[in-house]
Amino acid sequence: MEMTTITSRTFNQDASGAKRAAQNGPVFITDRGKPAHVLLSIEAYRRLTGQRENIIDLLADPEVAEVSFEPGRLSDLTKPVDLS
């Protein structure tokens, strides 16, 4: 895991670069030379907090949009009930 330190000014000028760096480890953002914030990837954050993905997160994932899903017909799942 690589740790990166950048200034607030650098972060403001190159947020995309900071996000790329966060894929390799935490990015410490300094204000006046002192650490003020930490940028983490969502995966690192979830590992740190012990959170698991929920169905809403999975459905919001753009890669999931590529998965085809054809639900079966409800009539295929039900059977008539014999009440005699």
Query: In tens digits, what is the pLDDT along the chain, a chain of 84 residues?
Result: 789 999 999 999 999 999 999 999 999 999 999 999 999 999 898 888 887 767 777 777 776 666 676 777 777 777 777 887
Number of domains in the chain: 1
- 34 within domain boundaries: yes
pLDDT at 13: 97
- 65 within domain boundaries: yes
pLDDT at 1: 79
For the chain, the maximum distance between any two Cα atoms, rounded to a whole number of angstroms, is: 83
pLDDT at 65: 64
- Residue 8: CATH number of its domain: 3.40.1620.10
pLDDT at 64: 64
CB of 25 closer than 8 Å to CB of 1: yes
User: Hey, how many other C-beta atoms are within 10 angstroms of the C-beta on 13?
Assistant: 11
pLDDT at 77: 73
- 29 within domain boundaries: yes
- 83 within domain boundaries: no
